[in-house]
Structures are given as structure tokens and as C-alpha cells.
Chain A
């Protein structure tokens, strides 16, 4: 979160270069702004990383994310309690760990965060696909095209095997065109519910998209050989958005992307992943124009959004649960060494590869009494047993201020508001010192209180949103 509101955050629009441009943030870009950028466009800072990033200034900091110099992973590869490496295609939960590891170790955090965005946008669940291999292949496609052109991504995902299975396009034939993909691609991927299309458009798109099929691998029992079979395709005349033609699946995608309502839907939805504040109408128009004139490229739009004044001056964004888990691990410099994150991710409300439905996760529902419990209890999994302070063996700490500083430093020194720090110190004083009367109490209470303070730091509202 931002402890101090930056002054003078709006500035003149830069010269239009792409048929439209967004205003640029001109306020202070210090550690806390860099910290916010890293939480919004990645998975939070590692200790000291925000301070380093701030030195670049806002523009170069954003560029370092949108045009990363390196894309590889840094740090130790996952090793579980069993001592064995992950088997992401074959072992239950290892798909989740495989991706979480990328979130933790990536050197291109925005690429990884956009991969998560596309997974939510084109939400596909292994609950319906039943193949970790196909899900991971889809994930690789999303990562490869994370900042490419949306038409390219949309086409790749439409005929991605996991998606073909998930939304029933595989097996949708001339005799029985399945409306599932035709409906959701308009409602969720490109236009918005009921926005500029009719039930007849759904049916006609379904006809245009017919013809995909697959077979089953006899040896593995897995679906295999996904392909377009012209004999299964409805090659009759269709009418889509008042256009008549012998449309095929590529025409279907072309028509929906050319729909006049698509650019606004696209930029509004994309922005919503970065900020809880609505984009002003004039900026939405500018972003839509920019999107269209760039040939529907993702990177320049994301770059402009990450420089928008509202990103730094607006309200905090509640951290998506899996971002919170990855970010906590980054903050304490821990790597994947347990499979506990698989079920922990469920308790906080976001298990990658298992979105609740094709609409993705509902970000307005990240926080409720159930997920808050999950978020609080993450701490007991984050702090490995040998790091839990033993009051019998730990040298007591001097005062409330020191206790609080130690607790915040444990998590990589996230920025906290004055009010939060005051509440933490107040606890440190009362639980660590004032409550103690006997000699053993004055030795042990500060240590027990420090254990509690560690939990309280990450249970503070400041740490849940950034």
C-alpha cells in the first residue's frame, strides 16, 4: 500500500503516437510506488527489490517489466518433502506447484502475471479438461503470447486442445453445432454479456466454428490428435452481426474482434486486472483507439496502463490469493519445498488451473470470512517450524519498536501505514512487555509476541492490498 498520497499525479498527455494515448504519472516514484508496481504487475518484491527498482524512475521501471531482459527462472528448482522433483503432468497438484514455482522464481514477473491474467480471461479448468499435460501446454501458449497481439492469442487459445475440450468445440459438428464456445467467446472473451450480439449470433457463430474434433490415444487414454475436419464443418451461409457469408472458424474470430464494441470491452477488462479504479471514459476511449491502431497489440497498452496516474494515485487493489502466496514466498526468499501450497491455494480461494468456472475468479469475492481465515493461516505454513521462535531458547528483544521492526523485516520489509505500525507496536508493548510480571515472563513474552507480530504483519489490511 502507499503510505503517503503522492502529490500532483496527473500530467499532460504525451504526444499521441498510436492513435490515442493515456496520461502519465508524474508524481513521486519511490520504494512504495515501486512496491505497488511489483505487486500489480508481478508477484511482489523480493527483499530490497522495490528500492532498487525505484532508482530507475517510473518509466524505466515499467519498461523493465514490459520488456524484460531475461525470461528465465532464478533460484533453486522445486524439491518436495520426498526429495524428488516435480512431475507436473502426472502427479496431482504438481501442475499447481509447477506454475507457482514460476511465479516465485521468474525474472520476467509481468510476463508471468499476464499469463495469470490470460488464465483468468480464458478461464479453463482441469476439472473439465482432465489432463494436466494439456493444461500446462495451454499455459505455455499463454506465457509465450502474454504480451503479443490479442488476435494471435485469441486464435491460439480458441484451438488450444484444453479449450477445445473445455468449451465443447471439439466434437461440435455441422449436424450438432455446440453453442458453448460461441456464447462464451462473445460474453466473456471479447464483447461482454449481451453486448452487441443476439442469440441468433450465438447460433450462427456455433455453425461457423464447427468442424473441430479429436481422437483418443489408445495407449494413454488421453485425448489426442486435435484437428479441423472439413467434413464436420457447416459450410453453409451464416449471418453474423448482419454480415452474410460462408464463414469458417477464422472468420468467426475475425468478425468478433472487428465488432465495434470489442475494443472498449477489451481495454476495460484489461485495466481491471491492474486497478480497482474505473478508467475515466476519455482514457477508455484513448486506450481503445490505441489498441485498434496498434493492430490490437497487448504490450503497448499494458505499458501505458502501468504508467497511468491512477495506478499509483488510486486505491489499493486486493491481492489475488495466488499472488499473495507467491509474493510471501518471494518476500521471505523461500522456494517450492512443500506441496502444501496446493491445498492452501484452495483455502485462500484461487487454485491455478482450477478456476471456478469459465468466467474466471470473481475478484470482488477475494475477501470473505472463509478466505480471510485461509489468508491468516497461511502464516503457519510460510514460517517453517525451525524458524518459529522458541521462548526458551531465544534471546529476548529490547523494546516494542525493535520487536515490530523485526517482525516487518521478516517478510522483506513491506511498506505499512503509520496506523498499522502503531497498532503493531501497541501489541508489542502490551503483549511483549506490559503483560509480563514474573521474571520468566519478561524473558519469554517478548519472544512469543514476536511470533504473533509476524502473523499480524501479514494479516494487516495493508499487506492484503497494494
Chain B
């Protein structure tokens, strides 16, 4: 089992995610073949298909020709057809940097006299990385150079100290606030989930897509379906010894069973039935992504995505591929494999993880540009908190308050949101960074300026939150 360096050095294990799961998925790919001798071709056979390899995602795809789709009675036709008519629909991608990233190791205050005092083991040398052009007191970590490059092109808005008043230092609580878009412990829908509840459709789980094994809470909706998949090409239901007519009818029966549960009065059965129905719809939506029988099974990621055993680059690469394939995505969430909860021996694991994130985000932007999709996609990169400026005795950093966020995209405003106050005046009573911008302001602004929806019914207290410029 491989672990990212950040996981190896992580002392607080809150946000270790299991590489085991990923290993499991890889093994499952071998254990549950997409097609077996005697298995039928998928429902929809007979439609004109154009098979092509979506090299960008490492996914072999077969997309059904639109004409065939429109003649088909398959339900997934609706989703694809709808997508074809709204190709200008904006897409918001949320990238979660797990564990609370140390913002002062991404953009560091080289000349601040307190910096070298606070970071006896971790301080980076002045001039080691590219200058941060908007504020000369900050310097990019050299491994964040790909982000500096995009920033230079006006495609990155940096929030050096984003947070909220009365910061909470629990991973769970602070992440929860960010996920639900409010400092409310009892809110149980995500901020993007509530947007989808207001704008989404009842038959398109892909409108809220989480590329993971479990749903990210920011996509949790109350009414509209959302999807969780590890990869779009592996969504295949298989029962041994079943094919042909009996298989097609089995999928119908699967729906009927789901409906029986969803229509019951028992909460457990309702949850179970709804999951079945959502999965069934998603199966139909992703049918075109099932590898064709003769397709190449492995393809390299497109140029620029880092080669690693982590899922993060592959999952990011799947997004442009799915958009290019016409799938109706609206809000997408992805987490890094790397855990930035660096309580001990921070430097090396942090560098490796930062490099992977920066290279992936850079490649993702270039991938979108190459496909002409960059006008449709805006990415917000966040973490639950920053870390304490004063390092600990284990050459690591403990949980802090305000931290780092980025908004990235061709339409990102490209200008700093909030400010860097410096270490002499920018710390609170507990020695943590004070926030100069509120994450809820960021959300309100993304909703209004990018998704074109009033923030008031989505973000509690939106009326009293200042807006920031996130889009140009």
C-alpha cells in the first residue's frame, strides 16, 4: 500500500483517507470485468455508436450518436440531449485540500522578520520561488510555480487569509462550516447542494458530481439527486449468469424494488430505495462511458497531469473529458489524496503534495483550454483552516485559523481577495492568522457572479455579507 508523503508525516490522523480504498478500486477493476464472455452489449445496443478514446481521462469511452439517442426510448437520452442544448452552462469545481493546508508554505512572507523566528525549521529562503506580483511581501513556494504562472496570466485569484470570525480548530467542525456554507453545526445540506435543489432537475444525478467513494457534504442536497462515482467508466452493475432480455428486465425490476423502498414509510427503506433509484438513473447516464469491447483499456493522462498512484490527477482529468463528452455537470467536487495535516516533519511531505496539487491544477486549466471548455469552468480550491504561524517542536504546524483559497479559471478575476497583514499585526490572541475575507462572501460571490443565482436563499445571512469580485 502506498501512502502519500503527507500521510506518512501526519501526526493528527483525522484526515487520512484510505489508500486502501484506492487499492481496492484498482483490484476491483480486475475482479469485476466490464464485459465477460456471454455478457450482452449494454442496453441501447443498435444505436449508432461512435467509439473514441477519451485520452485525457485515461478512459475509453463510447458515446452514442445523438441521432440514435433521440430515437431511443432510453431515459438517459434526455440527460444527454438536455446537455447538448445547454453547453454554455457554467460549471463550478470544488477542490478540497484535505487536512488544513499551511498557507504560509504556499505563499510565504520572506522578508517578515517574524517569519524566520516562527519557522525555524520550515522557513524558505528569500527569492527561492517566484515573486507574488500583487503583494511584494509574499513569495510563492517554488513548487507552486505552476500556480504562479497561471496567476501571471490573470487566471488565479488568491485569498491569503480566508476564514471566519470565531474560528474553530476542529477538522470536523471547521470543514463542516465550509461544506455547508455557514458557521452552523446543525445545517445538513451543502452549499452547492442547496444551489442544486433550487436549479437542478429530478432526473439528472450528474448535475452534482462527486468524484470519490463518498459524497462530499458540500454537494449534499435535500431534494435533487447527486452522484458519487470513483470514475465514470467503471459504473457497471453486474449479476453473474444474467444477460440479454433477463438483464434488461432486471434493471427495470431493480427500479421497481427501489420504488417500493422509496415509497415506504420506513426511513431506512426510503434511504435505501432512493439510493437504488439514483444509482439506476446514473447507470443509464453513464452507459455511453462504458468501455467499448474493442477499446484500449489504458491510456495515458494528457500532457501535464502528474504521474502518480494518487487518484487526484486522474479524477481532475475526468472532468474535462466528461464535459467534452456532453455530460450535464454543474457542480463537481474532488478531494486531494494528499493530507495536509502536517503536525510533524512537515517539509518533505508538504513539498511533494503541493507539487502534485499545483501541477494538476495547472494541467487541468490547460486541458480545459485545449478543449475550448475553459470559458465554462471555474474552480475553487479550499481547505478547512490554515495552520499556526509558529511551528511546533516537531518541525510541523498545528491547527490554525485563517488559511488559503484560490479561484482559478479563464474567467477568474485574477486579483487578490482580502490581504496579507503580516505576522506582527495579523495574528489573533491564540497566535493564529486573522481572516481578511470570509468564505461565505466567497460563496455568495461565486453563486451570483459565476452561477448567476441569488445567494440569499442559499447562504444563510447572505444579505449582510460583503461581496468580492471573483469573475471577470
Task: Please tell me if A6 contacts chain B, counting CB pairs below 8 Å.
Answer: no
Contact yes or no, B12 A180, CB < 8 A:
yes
Q: Which residues on A sit within 8 Å (CB–CB) of B37?
A: none
Give Cα distance in the complex from A369 to B237, angstroms: 11
Q: Which residues on A sit within 8 Å (CB–CB) of B344?
A: 168
Q: Mark contacts of B275-289 with chain A using CB atoms, 8 A cut-off: 1 yes-contact digit, 0 otherwise.
A: 110110010000000
Smallest CB gap from B12: residue in A:
A180
Known contacts A127-B3, A127-B20, A456-B254; A377 and B173 CB within 8 A of each other? no
Give Cα distance in the complex from A430 to B246, angstroms: 9
Known contacts A127-B3, A167-B13; A346 and B18 CB within 8 A of each other? yes
Q: Which residues on B sit within 8 Å (CB–CB) of A462?
A: 261, 269
Contact yes or no, A128 B16, CB < 8 A:
yes
Contact yes or no, A316 B235, CB < 8 A:
no
B-contacting 9-mer, from A65-73, A76-84, A443-451? A443-451
Contact yes or no, B23 A452, CB < 8 A:
no
Residue among A345, A385, A451, A464 making CB contact with B242, cutoff 8 Å: A451
Contact yes or no, B10 A128, CB < 8 A:
yes
Contact yes or no, B239 A452, CB < 8 A:
yes
Task: Please tell me if A306 contacts chain B, counting CB pairs below 8 Å.
Answer: no
Give Cα distance in the complex from A275 to B211, angstroms: 30
Give Cα distance in the complex from A276 to B269, angstroms: 12
* Least CB distance, A163 to chain B, in whole angstroms: 10
Q: Which residues on A sit within 8 Å (CB–CB) of B343?
A: 168, 178, 180
Task: Please tell me if B165 contacts chain A, counting CB pairs below 8 Å.
Answer: no
* Least CB distance, A214 to chain B, in whole angstroms: 14
Task: Please tell me if B375 contacts chain A, counting CB pairs below 8 Å.
Answer: no
* Least CB distance, A375 to chain B, in whole angstroms: 9
> Which residue, B27, B185, B275, has most C-beta atoms of chain A within 10 A?
B275
Contact yes or no, B257 A183, CB < 8 A:
no
Give Cα distance in the complex from A460 to B173, angstroms: 35
Give Cα distance in the complex from A127 to B466, angstroms: 42
Task: Please tell me if B86 contacts chain A, counting CB pairs below 8 Å.
Answer: no
Smallest CB gap from A339: residue in B:
B27
Smallest CB gap from A370: residue in B:
B228
Contact yes or no, B13 A427, CB < 8 A:
no
* Least CB distance, B120 to chain A, in whole angstroms: 13
A-contacting 9-mer, from B102-110, B121-129, B392-400? B392-400
Dominant secondary structure at the A interface: helix
Q: Which residues on B sit within 8 Å (CB–CB) of A426?
A: 253, 256
Contact yes or no, A367 B185, CB < 8 A:
no
* Least CB distance, B460 to chain A, in whole angstroms: 19
Task: Please tell me if A302 contacts chain B, counting CB pairs below 8 Å.
Answer: no
Q: Which residues on A sit within 8 Å (CB–CB) of B275?
A: 367-369, 371-372, 464
Known contacts A187-B172, A356-B18, A367-B275; A316 and B269 CB within 8 A of each other? yes
Task: Please tell me if A284 contacts chain B, counting CB pairs below 8 Å.
Answer: no
Q: Which residues on A sit within 8 Å (CB–CB) of B242?
A: 448, 451-452, 455
* Least CB distance, A17 to chain B, in whole angstroms: 32
Q: Which residues on A sit within 8 Å (CB–CB) of B239?
A: 376, 379-380, 451-452, 454-455
Contact yes or no, B271 A465, CB < 8 A:
yes
Task: Please tell me if A358 contacts chain B, counting CB pairs below 8 Å.
Answer: yes
Q: Which residues on A sit within 8 Å (CB–CB) of B41?
A: none
Q: Which residues on A sit within 8 Å (CB–CB) of B194?
A: none
Give Cα distance in the complex from A124 to B27, angstroms: 24
Known contacts A176-B392, A369-B279, A420-B257; A187 and B170 CB within 8 A of each other? yes
Give Cα distance in the complex from A183 to B343, angstroms: 14
Task: Please tell me if A417 contacts chain B, counting CB pairs below 8 Å.
Answer: yes
Task: Please tell me if B46 contacts chain A, counting CB pairs below 8 Å.
Answer: no
Contact yes or no, A370 B266, CB < 8 A:
no
Contact yes or no, B258 A346, CB < 8 A:
no
Contact yes or no, A356 B260, CB < 8 A:
no
* Least CB distance, A463 to chain B, in whole angstroms: 9
Residue among A178, A276, A377 making CB contact with B268, cutoff 8 Å: A276
Known contacts A92-B1, A347-B25; A183 and B170 CB within 8 A of each other? yes
Q: Which residues on B sit within 8 Å (CB–CB) of A368?
A: 214-215, 228, 275
- Give residues in A with beta carbon < 8 Å to B: 1, 92, 124-125, 127-128, 166-168, 171, 173, 175-176, 178-180, 183-184, 187, 193-194, 199, 276, 315-318, 340, 342-347, 349, 351, 354, 356-359, 362, 365, 367-373, 376-377, 379-381, 383, 385, 388-391, 417, 419-420, 422-424, 426-427, 430-432, 435, 445, 448-449, 451-452, 454-456, 459-462, 464-466
A-B contact pairs, 5 of them (CB 8 A): A168-B12, A176-B392, A180-B11, A371-B214, A455-B242
- Give residues in B with beta carbon < 8 Å to A: 1, 3, 7, 10-28, 31-32, 168-173, 185, 205, 212-215, 227-230, 235-247, 249-250, 252-254, 256-258, 260-262, 264, 266-269, 271-273, 275-276, 278-279, 282, 343-344, 392-394, 398-399, 430
Add 7 more A-B contacts to A127-B16, A343-B26, A347-B24 (CB < 8 A).
Answer: A356-B18, A369-B235, A377-B238, A422-B260, A427-B249, A461-B261, A461-B264
